[in-house]
A and B are shown apart, each in its own frame.
Chain A
Amino acid sequence: MRQYSYLLALWWALTLDAAGESGLQTLTTLPDRPPAPAFTLPDADGATHRLSDYHGRVLIVNFWATWCPPCREEMPSMQRAWEQLKDAGIAMLAINVGEDEDTIFAFTASYPVEFPLLLDQDSTVVRRWAVVGLPTTFVVAPDGTLAYRAIGGRAWDDPAIMDRVRRLAGIRGGEKF
């Protein structure tokens, strides 16, 4: 099984490379800016997180699973992005779909991240957010509306993506405006 996982990951990396697709980093603007659906979920350490806890801040919400190769692929870039954004008050959550604490704990041994990993074990929240494929990531504006969406993995520390996230938080050139 471990060998298959390795081969699958290798195939995924080769697919991205062969198709030259790894360079296109886009965020889709959601023109109608719907409100982000509320949630209350535990993280892998048992602490409770509510969407309302993050009101007034830009929040990146990623839906993922450990078995999903593009989810794993983008996770280190999310950590790097978060390291650069957290001091600006920008928050990041990754909501795991359908798995348990033990699975996520084992995952973090290979993919260490410091932002909260929440558990949506019965997939109620992911459905409320109208997600149909993993990974899907939203950027929530400070007023609680959905500003951007990305379906599929991204390099979250790409300067173009980071710039759009910072601008949503009212930051230009490192200064709040």
Chain B
Amino acid sequence: MTTLFAAPAADADAPPSGATQGRDPQTDLRYWRWNADGILFELTQRLPDQTRGFFEARGFDQQIANEIAMSCVFQTNFKNSAPSGDGTVAFDLSKWRAVTDSGRHRLLTREVWHRRWSQRPVTKAARIALEWSLLPTRQRYAPGDYNWGMTSFGLAPGRSFTLEFNWVHDGRTFSRTLTDIECAADIQQPPG
């Protein structure tokens, strides 16, 4: 595992570490994890082929499933890991940014996908599956609470970016970055 913590210069009380990255030995997929300041936040690559299969199985046609799959999707876990009774954690994905050499990009949240599909032939069942499989855009957690869901960043397969993310813990705002995050390449995983 490699530490890749990088905190904004203005945040003087940021801890020296909290971020790790690694590669799952079973799946060979990369992950990035932040485990400090009262939260556990983890992004794990999803191959476009995985995402295509997931959404085709839930009623999306191939073209639309492919559009989602090619939008840099990560499996995501966000948890309030503070000790019991230590305050709530809240986040708002619309405030997070993926930073590349071409600019700062908003995440493709539930609301963004909803707007995209409003004029497209997507069944109600498929819309519901997409909405609930994505990490909530806004959420508030008591200690021990967590969600699991997908996040999508609208970047091409194989693209690298820095994630600027923030959350509020017990009334205090934390802003952190995870660097060198990489969208999964569009490859087929060999059977194994």
A contacts, CB < 8 Å to B: 1, 3-4, 7-8, 10-12, 14-15, 19, 21, 24-26, 28, 65, 67-70, 97-98, 100, 121-123, 132-134, 149-152, 154
In the bound complex, residues from chain B placing their C-beta under 8 Å from that of A69 are: 148
In the bound complex, residues from chain A placing their C-beta under 8 Å from that of B44 are: 11, 15
A8 to B189, CA, bound (A): 13
CB pair A150 B53 closer than 8 Å: no
The answer, yes or no, to whether B5 is at the interface (CB within 8 Å) is no
CB pair B147 A151 closer than 8 Å: yes
In the bound complex, residues from chain A placing their C-beta under 8 Å from that of B75 are: 8, 11
The answer, yes or no, to whether B133 is at the interface (CB within 8 Å) is yes
A21 to B35, CA, bound (A): 11
A67 to B40, CA, bound (A): 22
Quick one: which of B6-32 are within 8 Å of A by CB?
Answer: 24, 26-27, 29
CB pair B128 A133 closer than 8 Å: no
CB pair B54 A67 closer than 8 Å: yes
Can you pick out 27 interface pairs between chain A and chain B where the beta carbons lie within 8 Å of each other? A4-B54, A8-B75, A10-B26, A10-B27, A11-B24, A11-B27, A15-B77, A19-B35, A19-B42, A19-B81, A21-B146, A24-B144, A25-B144, A28-B142, A28-B145, A67-B133, A68-B132, A68-B133, A68-B148, A70-B148, A97-B132, A122-B124, A133-B139, A133-B149, A151-B145, A151-B146, A152-B146
A54 to B166, CA, bound (A): 41
Main secondary structure of the interface of B (DSSP, over half): mixed
B78-96 CB mask vs A (1 if < 8 Å, else 0) is 0101001000000000000
Contacts A19-B81, A97-B128, A133-B136; is A12 near B148 (CB within 8 Å)?
yes
B contacts, CB < 8 Å to A: 24, 26-27, 29, 33, 35, 40, 42, 44, 50, 53-54, 57-58, 75, 77, 79, 81, 84, 124-125, 128-129, 131-133, 135-139, 141-149, 189, 191
CB pair A4 B53 closer than 8 Å: yes
In the bound complex, residues from chain A placing their C-beta under 8 Å from that of B139 are: 132-133, 151
CB pair A1 B53 closer than 8 Å: yes
Q: Closest Cβ of chain B: how far from A104's Cβ, in Å?
A: 14
Q: Which 5 A-B pairs have the closest CB atoms?
A: A26-B144, A98-B128, A133-B147, A152-B146, A28-B142
When C-beta atoms are compared, the residue in chain B nearest to A123 turns out to be B128
Partner of B191, one of A3, A98, A149, A150: A3
In the bound complex, residues from chain A placing their C-beta under 8 Å from that of B54 are: 1, 4, 67
Residue of A10, A68, A70, A133 ringed by the most chain B CB atoms within 10 A: A133
When C-beta atoms are compared, the residue in chain B nearest to A149 turns out to be B142
Partner of B128, one of A7, A25, A28, A122: A122
